[in-house]
Structures are given as structure tokens and as C-alpha cells.
Amino acid sequence: MFTAEIVKRTRAIYDALRLHIIAEEMRLPGRRRKPRADYKASTLMRERGLWLNQDKHVVGLIPGVEIGDMFLYRLELCVVGLHGQPQAGIDYLTAHRSSNGEPIATSIIVSGGYEDDEDTGEVLVYSGHGGQDKLHRQCQHQRLESGNLAMERSMHYGIEVRVIRGFKYDNVVSSKVYVYDGLYRIVEYWFDVGKSGFGVFKFKLVRIEGQGEMGSRRMKFAQALRTKPLAVRPNGYITFNLSGGKENVPVYLYNDIDFDREPEGYDYLAISAITNLISAHGGANRGCECKYSCGNDCFCARRNGGELPYDGDGTLLKGKPVVFECGALCACGPSCKNRVTQKGLSKRLEVFRSRETGWGVRTLDFIQAGAFICEYAGVVLTREQAKIVSMNGDPLLYPGRFTKKWSSLGDLSQVYPEYVQPSYPSLPPVDFAMDVSKLRNVASYISHSKESNVMAQFVLHDHSNLMYPRVMLFALENISPLTELSLDYGLDDKLEERLAICN
């Protein structure tokens, strides 16, 4: 029986391997197009026996996969066993593998590929498989065979079918997301003449009651919140501009529980305040000489162990003790792919009041694993300064106490038996504190969890003092819209799991 943690770890391996393949192949001379890394990663994982439920075609629920889980690639659905067909919309048990000797449908993908599909959420009319040309136009009659026959047999025996919906989605590398919406039962089917004049099988599916909210509905709700929040949630919003315009995108503040407006009482600080006395000390004061954007042979790449830390889309390839970005002394421009965190917040976040966590932060956007979220901002204090400030009882954050969740991002040890975890030069202890008693940003309201979906990554770009890196937050996993963000602050187990630094 697979658990949610095993599924999460398997998906992390898939993401890490896909990014590794892209990074390796883009190094080749003359490479202009990204490779089909999603396909190569899934193939390699299958060869290594890392697919979950491999060749089993599970009927019903997939252990460890939750309703609302979102995926960027169809082949990722295959890896976790949610849908075993990389192209076909109907996945099914063949007759010789079925216990009753008849084909049985296990899952379908609804993505608008058929002109006769009808979808209202709880009720779905799904067009059968087959009879289309290369442009997805119906060009001949469908037959009651293969997946279509499996759908009819599942209806006959009352066997539930998993439904995954595909949507076009901006600002993700695949341009599309797939959302698992739970189990449906086929209640009716018929043969009808479609819009193109050819016979098409239609299957009416009804969602089984008692399941969690559909992920696709949450996704559409989040999309509406991004564009017209008051139209879909008229009560509870305090402000749509908590940052006072200091971030690239608005930060919402929402409270429909009580009259607390505390986050409005602080001055917003988008990036940490570091004194010149701290930033003046450090290593070599030089930068790269790249004209436009950096490559793996530049000075900054060598500082990162011989490779740039991000891919072309700004995704962190693997976690490190510290990431060296290009800075003011570098010749490359602001569009350089090694300046990811300097570009600021790009994901739309909402600070919200919760009965469980006090204040929390949730995302209105889909956030891909390895994507930059925001800086954890405050006033940086030396150890001596922190001792004085702490006497006043002001809330201080100690970045050195964050757990090293970064070590799991990009880990390929389960794929390559000979894989050796990278060794990094010893660094001085991170022994500073951040004062968030008067100046803070949205990150201060992120709740604590041992099973966090966000990690802290130390980054240097505006100075070279290794003892005082900036604290940047990255996604540890794919985070669906309206999901609360959580961070492992390294708190004692005796403290409440729900504790956030500013609650």
C-alpha cells in the first residue's frame, strides 16, 4: 500500500530527473530545442522499477493520490499509476488481465479533445475513443471495441472510473495541467451522430457522492480570485495590496473569521535590510564577464560547482547550502537566468485568517516544484544585536535553524545507484537573526510544518559575506492553487506544529 509520502517522493524524483535531463542535454553543442525530458524521465524510472502500481491498472482509488492533486505531464500520471495511457483518453484493463475476462475501464482524461464532450463538473458526457484524424477531427464512425467496450462493461458492472481533467494553464512549463477529480460512475451510454456527421459513442458519468471538493473547481475558483475576487468572494477582504505596491504582483489580505487586521499594522519590506557593515565583508569581489546571459563556463557557474543553479525557466535544479547568483559586479543583464530571486515575487499569494494556524499564506497560482516564491524578509541582525533586541520580546527569526530540506530537491540517488550526493565546501555557520517586529513581508505569515511544501534556500547576490546570505523560499513540490504554504522552521517537537513565526 503506497502512502501520500511515497507518492510525493516519487513525483519529486520524476521532477528532479526531468530537470536533470534538460540540463544535461542543453549543454550539448548546437542544442536549440528542449528534449522530451518528460518522456525520457518516465522511461528511465520505469526501467528502474520506480513506477508506482506498475502494470497493475488499479481499479478505483490510487493509494496516496488525493483528489485535487495536479500534474504537469501526462506521463507523470503514468508514473504514479493514475492513468496508464500516455496518449489515449481511456485507460482500461484488457480482457485477458481482467478477473472476469472482460475489459474494464479504470480512468479517463477529459481535456476537450473531442468536439462532442459535455462537462458540468458533477455530470459528464464523455465521447468515446477513435475515429479521429491527426487534427483531432472526427472522420469515421467509432466502434464498440477497446476503450469504448471497456467503458460499456464498467457501466454494466457498476465499476467506478477515475476522472482526470486537463486544462490549458499559463505560466507553467508544460502549458497545461491535469487535475484528479475523483471517482465517477457510468450510468448511461448511447451511439449518436456527432457534429461532424459521424457516429460517436457517448458515456454519461456521474460523480460519486461523499468525495472531497473537485480540484478543477478549486482551480477555477482560484482563477476567478485572481481576476475578480469581490465577485466570487464579496466578504472578508481587507486589502488587495498588502505590500503597498512593493511587490510585482498584489498580495491579498483576507479575514472572514474575526475583526483582526494585524498584518496591516506593519511596514512592508520586500527584501531584507542588510547593513553595509555586514555586506562589506566577504570573499572575492568580482563577477562574471558574460555579455547577456550566463552559461556553465562562466565565473558564477564555477562558484556554484560548475553549473548554473537554475534551468531556462528559472526552476532550481537542486538544493545547495548556498546558491551564488549574478550580482552588481557581473556584466550580464537583468534578464540573465542566474538572477531568479532578484526578480521578486511573481506568484499571487493571499494572507488569510485561520482558526487552525492564526494567520497563514495560501497561493492563488499553481507553483511548480523548484520554483522561487519569495524572499523571507526582515531586518538582519548580528548575534550581538539580536541579544539586545530579544530583551524587548520582539519576534526574531533564526535562519540557521531551518531544517535542510534543500538536500532533497534534485536528489537522484534512487535513479542512479552510482549517484553520489554532491559535496560542498564547508561554510561558516549561519548565526544571524532577522527582526520582523516592525518590518516584514508575506513570508512571515507562513505556518510551520514538519511536512512542509516550501523550503529555505540561502542565496548570495548583492554581497559575498557567507555568514549573512539572503533567505529565499522555493517550492519543494508542486503546489496547487488555494493550498496553504508551510515551512519547517526547525522548531522543537514539543511546540505546536501549527506555529508560524508571526502568530
**Model pLDDT for residues 223-239, shown as the tens digit of each residue:** 999 999 999 999 999 99
Beta-carbon contacts of residue 332 (< 8 Å; ≥ 6 apart): 288, 290, 291, 292, 293, 294, 326, 338, 339
Q: pLDDT by residue (tens digit) across 457-484? A: 999 998 888 999 999 999 999 999 999 9
For the domain 267-347+367-487, what is the CATH code? Answer: 2.170.270.10
d(CA 74, CA 166): 9
Task: Give this prediction's pTM.
Answer: 0.91
Does residue 280 surpass a pLDDT of 70?
no
The count of other CB atoms within 10 Å of the CB of residue 196 is 14
Q: Look at residue 67 in the predicted model and tell me its pLDDT.
A: 95
Q: Look at residue 200 in the predicted model and tell me its pLDDT.
A: 87
Does residue 499 surpass a pLDDT of 50?
no
Q: Look at residue 496 in the predicted model and tell me its pLDDT.
A: 47
Q: pLDDT by residue (tens digit) across 421-435? A: 777 777 888 889 999
Give, in order, the Cα–Cα distances in Å from 66 to each of 3, 166, 167.
10, 16, 18
The average pLDDT across 394-417 equals 90
Reported as a pLDDT band with limits 50, 70 and 90, residue 130 is confident
Q: Look at residue 464 in the predicted model and tell me its pLDDT.
A: 86
Does residue 139 surpass a pLDDT of 90?
no
Q: pLDDT by residue (tens digit) across 327-348? A: 989 999 999 999 999 999 999 9
The count of other CB atoms within 10 Å of the CB of residue 48 is 14
d(CA 410, CA 24): 13
The average pLDDT across 19-33 equals 75
Question: Contact 375/247 with Cβ under 8 angstroms?
Answer: no
Question: Contact 347/252 with Cβ under 8 angstroms?
Answer: no
The average pLDDT across 234-248 equals 96
Pick from 3-17, 114-128, 351-365, 406-420: least confident: 114-128
Element (H, E) at 390: helix 383-390
Share in percent of the chain as helix, strand, coil (round to 5): 20, 25, 55
Q: Look at residue 151 in the predicted model and tell me its pLDDT.
A: 96
Q: Look at residue 22 in the predicted model and tell me its pLDDT.
A: 86
DSSP state of 195: T
Reported as a pLDDT band with limits 50, 70 and 90, residue 106 is very high
d(CA 150, CA 79): 22
The count of other CB atoms within 10 Å of the CB of residue 1 is 5
Q: Look at residue 53 in the predicted model and tell me its pLDDT.
A: 85
Domain boundaries, the chain: 4-221, 267-347+367-487
**3-state secondary structure at position 315:** coil
Reported as a pLDDT band with limits 50, 70 and 90, residue 76 is very high
Question: Contact 83/110 with Cβ under 8 angstroms?
Answer: no
d(CA 68, CA 181): 6
* Domain 4-221 matches domain 267-347+367-487 at the CATH topology level: no
Higher per-residue confidence, 493 vs 437: 437
Does residue 497 surpass a pLDDT of 90?
no
In SS3 terms, 94-147 reads as: CCCCCCCCCCEEEEEEECCCCCCCEECCCEEEEECCCCECCCCCECCCCCCCHH
Bridge partners of 177?
167
Beta-carbon contacts of residue 399 (< 8 Å; ≥ 6 apart): 376, 430, 432, 433, 434, 456, 458, 469, 471
Does residue 51 surpass a pLDDT of 90?
yes
Q: Look at residue 498 in the predicted model and tell me its pLDDT.
A: 42
Does residue 107 surpass a pLDDT of 80?
yes
Looking at domain 4-221, which of 1.10.1040.10, 3.40.50.2020, 2.60.40.650, 2.30.280.10 is its CATH number?
A: 2.30.280.10
289: Cα separation from own chain's centroid: 34
The average pLDDT across 121-131 equals 87
Q: pLDDT by residue (tens digit) across 407-423? A: 999 989 889 888 777 77
Q: How does the average pLDDT of the chain come out, rounded?
A: 89
Considering only CA atoms, which of 460, 222, 259, 164 is closest in space to residue 350?
222
Does residue 281 surpass a pLDDT of 80?
no
Supply 387's cell numbers. Answer: 541579544
Q: pLDDT by residue (tens digit) across 161-214? A: 999 999 988 877 788 999 999 999 999 999 988 777 888 899 999 999 999 999
* DSSP symbols for 408-427: GTT--TTT-TT--PPP----
